[in-house]
Structure 1
Amino acid sequence: MKALSDFLAIILFFVIYTTTHNIIWATIGATVVGIFQAAYTWIKFKKLSFFQWVSLIIVVVFGGLTIWLDNPVYVMLKTTVVCWLTALAVGVGQMMGKNGVKLLMGNELKLPENVWTKLSYAWMIFFILMGLINLAIAYPFTAEQVDVWAKYKMYGYIPLSLIFSIGQAFYIARFLPKPTGE
Structure 2
Amino acid sequence: MKKLVLSAVAVLAFAAGAPVHAQNAATPETAAAVKELMETMNMRAVMRASMQQMTQQLPQMLRQMGEAGINANPKLDAEQKRKELARMEEQMPKVLASMNAVFNDPKLAEEMEQETMAIYARNYTADEMKQVTAFYRTPVGAKMLSTMPKVMQESMAAGQKVMMPRIAKLAQDAGLAK
Q: With CA pairs under 8 Å and 6+ residues apart, which has the higher RCO, 1 or 2? A: 2
Bigger radius of gyration, 1 or 2?
2
Fold match by TM threshold 0.5: no
Give the structure-2-normalised TM-score. 0.30
